Chains A and B, each alone.
Chain A
Amino acid sequence: MNMPIEDGNNNLRYAEYVLGVLDADTRAEVVHEMQTSGEAATAVALWQRRLMPLTSVIAEVIPAPYVWARIHDALQLDAPARVAPRKGLWDNLQLWHWLGLGASAVAVALLVVVALPRPTTTPAVVAAGYMASTIQQDNGSTGWTATMDLQHARMVVVPATPVAFEQGRAPELWLIPAGGKPISVGMIARDKPTTLALDPALLAQLGPTAALAVSVEPVGGSPTGQPTGAVIAKGAIGAAPDAGGKVAMIEVRQANRSRV
């Protein structure tokens, strides 16, 4: 109220910036001013304090879990690491292809065997950070193999037999906690390996009481955060005896496709 009118125009521009009505060029000018002038930065901060309370009436919407997974992936954040990264194993795509094509028991055995060469570590300890899953189709052939690296909070899903999808539809992988709602793990490719980051909430749910499922969704993912299309595969998670219970194996059998 005790603002001289000459000062008004410049100050108004900061208000307009915060309100969001300026065009791209003028916005860029204001951003530049804020970076070079403390006065401008303060004026903008004051306007933010004045106007931002408006956002308190905007309804909160919980984002799909894969958004955090993408952030986690983009920033290459690590889960707390107890063992040095074993890049050689994880980054070997041929291995993933092979896993996708092979029988699950063999896949689990391979994980243990490949991990073995570290002489100072016992196989059981090395294998403890992994879970493997074979996603089977109706005809008994493997659709995808999912292997989860718990230490690095990621999952690689490798297709073995590409499943056909209508145009505009794609497979989305879900984790279903016991008695809980499906949590999206992310979209998976039907014809090439997909690496997904696992957020802490997902990691916490991975275990013998949870299940995995694949549903048919729009290419961008389920718009609701829950499966909207037919669930084409699902199954329970069980511990694999091969690794003394340290490596869990998930049997996923394809549900009746005729429900599509």
Chain B
Amino acid sequence: MSISSPAERDELNQLLQQTGRNDQKAFAELYKRTSSKLFGVCLRMLRDRGEAEEVLQETYTTVWRRAASFDASRASAITWLVTLSRNKAIDRLRQHREELLDDPSRLNETVDEQPTPAAGAETSQEYQRLQHCLDELEPQQQSSVREAFFTGATYNELATRCKVPLGTMKSWIRRSLMQLRTCLDQ
């Protein structure tokens, strides 16, 4: 499934809009074409198959109920869907924050989120632009932003993981975000 082509994007937008009109067939097709992407996101954040499945289920039941509120002029369907699944995953992480902090195996896992060469070829222009802007950050700040995005960790958790004071982590991330905005909005 490649979601980077404009035609694919338009099709997904249409499927999501049809879902908003209670079209069950469109909903099933939307699930077929986007669930592995969203499941990848959930798994990456929650690191637990059962939890990721539950969050994926919550995500799509919400999609069915809220699809009518999707506004294609504001975001593409895939951004809307990924955002929804990330938000559900983050909510789930916040519920279990203590348990997760107590489980050192989760904290020490280093996951390589750099694209593989094959995946790199398929990544979107938007990603390449973002990557270019990320590359302009200090290495430590870049890795904090990535860690934050891919794990849904709070400032406190990030500070603990990177063994820096909370204030340092906050200023790293905030400075990075400002810098990213400047770079991306050019």
Query: Do A and B belong to a common assembly?
Result: yes
Cβ contact within 8 Å between B35 and A1? no
Whether A21 touches B57, Cβ cut-off 8 Å, given contacts A12-B174, A48-B79, is no
How many A-B residue pairs have C-beta atoms within 8 angstroms? Tell me. Answer: 147
Cβ contact within 8 Å between A27 and B57? no
Cβ contact within 8 Å between B181 and A78? no
Majority SS of interface residues in chain B?
Answer: helix
| B181 contacts across to A, CB distance below 8 A | 3, 15, 50
CB within 8 A of A64: which of B53, B60, B119? B53
| B100 contacts across to A, CB distance below 8 A | none
Cβ contact within 8 Å between A53 and B127? yes
How far is A18 from B149 in the complex, measured between Cα atoms in Å?
A: 8
Distance in Å: Cβ of A51 to nearest Cβ of chain B: 7
Cβ contact within 8 Å between B74 and A61? no
| Interface bits B123-164 vs A (CB < 8 Å: 1, else 0) | 110110110000000000000011011101111101000000
Whether B184 is near chain A, meaning CB under 8 Å from some CB there, is: yes
How far is A16 from B181 in the complex, measured between Cα atoms in Å?
A: 12
Whether B40 is near chain A, meaning CB under 8 Å from some CB there, is: yes
| Interface bits A236-254 vs B (CB < 8 Å: 1, else 0) | 0000000000000000000
| Interface bits A41-74 vs B (CB < 8 Å: 1, else 0) | 0100100111111111111111110011011001
Whether A22 is near chain B, meaning CB under 8 Å from some CB there, is: yes
How far is A82 from B71 in the complex, measured between Cα atoms in Å?
A: 34
Cβ contact within 8 Å between A45 and B41? no
How far is A3 from B183 in the complex, measured between Cα atoms in Å?
A: 12
| A52 contacts across to B, CB distance below 8 A | 79, 82-83
Cβ contact within 8 Å between A21 and B178? no
Task: Specify the chain A residue showing the minimal Cβ separation from B4.
Answer: A56
Interface size on B, residues (CB 8 A): 68
Whether A19 is near chain B, meaning CB under 8 Å from some CB there, is: yes
Whether B168 is near chain A, meaning CB under 8 Å from some CB there, is: no
How far is A42 from B73 in the complex, measured between Cα atoms in Å?
A: 11
Majority SS of interface residues in chain A?
Answer: helix
| B49 contacts across to A, CB distance below 8 A | 220, 223
| A75 contacts across to B, CB distance below 8 A | 61, 64
Whether A62 touches B39, Cβ cut-off 8 Å, given contacts A23-B94, A57-B114, is yes
| A223 contacts across to B, CB distance below 8 A | 49
Whether A20 touches B41, Cβ cut-off 8 Å, given contacts A57-B114, A223-B49, is no
Whether A50 touches B57, Cβ cut-off 8 Å, given contacts A19-B173, A58-B40, is no
Whether A110 is near chain B, meaning CB under 8 Å from some CB there, is: no
Cβ contact within 8 Å between A60 and B173? no
Chain A contact patch, size range: 35 or more
Distance in Å: Cβ of A170 to nearest Cβ of chain B: 13
Whether A77 is near chain B, meaning CB under 8 Å from some CB there, is: yes
| A64 contacts across to B, CB distance below 8 A | 53
CB within 8 A of A63: which of B39, B119, B150? B39
Cβ contact within 8 Å between B41 and A58? yes
Whether A23 touches B127, Cβ cut-off 8 Å, given contacts A61-B39, A71-B60, is no
Whether A74 touches B57, Cβ cut-off 8 Å, given contacts A1-B186, A21-B173, A63-B35, is yes
Task: Specify the chain A residue showing the minimal Cβ separation from B82.
Answer: A55
Cβ contact within 8 Å between A54 and B130? yes
CB within 8 A of B57: which of A70, A77, A201? A70
Q: Determine which residue in A27, A53, A67 has the highest number of CB atoms from chain B within 10 A of its CB, and name it.
A: A53
Cβ contact within 8 Å between B60 and A57? no
Cβ contact within 8 Å between B79 and A49? yes
| A67 contacts across to B, CB distance below 8 A | 35, 39, 53, 56-57
Q: A residues near B, CB below 8 A?
A: 1, 3, 8, 12, 15-16, 18-24, 27, 42, 45, 48-64, 67-68, 70-71, 74-75, 77-78, 199-201, 220-221, 223
Sort A-B residue pairs by CB-CB distance and give the 3 closest, nearest first: A53-B126, A60-B36, A24-B94
